Amino acid sequence: MTGYLAKSGLKYIVFWGVLALSSSVCGIFTPLFVALFIFALYFFRDPEREPKTDDAAAFLAPIDGKVREISIATLDEQKFTKILIEKSLFSVGTLRAPCDMKVEQIRRRHGLFLCGRMKISDALNERVLYVCKNDSQNFALRIVAGALSRELDVERVKELRAGRKFGFLGSGTVVFYAPVSAKICVSVGDGLRAGEILGYFDKGSRNE
């Protein structure tokens, strides 16, 4: 990632910038290409975000978006509290580590880039699953691409500090699988920015 723009968006920004410049010289479709260039700059913006707390027990929103679902779900034969965050068209798409974490597995499944509102997209869209650990707490992150994501730009990392960038999502959803013992501090419908508090691990329990 760059300081102000997501690295994955640079090729699109350069493309539309060149078209905007060329059209201004030729006088053809100039407003359209300038508008697309400005939209690309906005869409791939990457503002700095500081974690809202340094509490080691906290886990934070990994992306800007809105909470669409909180439920109990099973992953790898283990029960978790599932928090689904939907990234909107105008939200910042930078992915950030929700807490200090060690990545034990990364499972990527190539697929389609259908609209997330289509029920079939949950089964067919491209996705990646990070199976992680924070001290004795197991958790996971599932990132599912949407219609505006032409690729899933995520890094293959082994360890991250809270708030560190590890990818970009143009559109789609991010699911945080928290231990069922965790305290959840958000509700369905809440708008979030990356780095805001989702909840707290129960450091007195182990879910290994």
pLDDT digits (tens, 9 = 90+) for 74-119: 999 999 999 999 998 889 999 999 999 999 999 999 888 887 777 7
- For the domain made up of 58-200, the CATH class stated in words is mainly beta
Looking at every residue in the chain, the average pLDDT score rounds to 90
Global confidence as pTM: 0.89
> How high is the pLDDT of residue 147?
82
Q: What is the pLDDT of residues 107-125, one digit of tens each?
A: 999 888 887 777 787 778 9
> How high is the pLDDT of residue 208?
55
Give the count of beta carbons closer than 10 Å to the beta carbon of residue 7: 14
3-state secondary structure of 40: helix
Q: How do beta strands 78-87 and 172-179 pair?
A: antiparallel
If phi > 0 it is left, if psi is from -120 to 50 it is alpha, else beta; for residue 135 that is: left
Backbone angles phi, psi at 99, to 5 degrees: -170, 175
Q: What is the pLDDT of residues 149-205, one digit of tens each?
A: 877 889 999 999 999 999 999 999 999 999 999 999 999 999 999 999 999 999 776
Which residue from 75, 179, 184 is spatially nearest to 137, judged by alpha carbons? 179
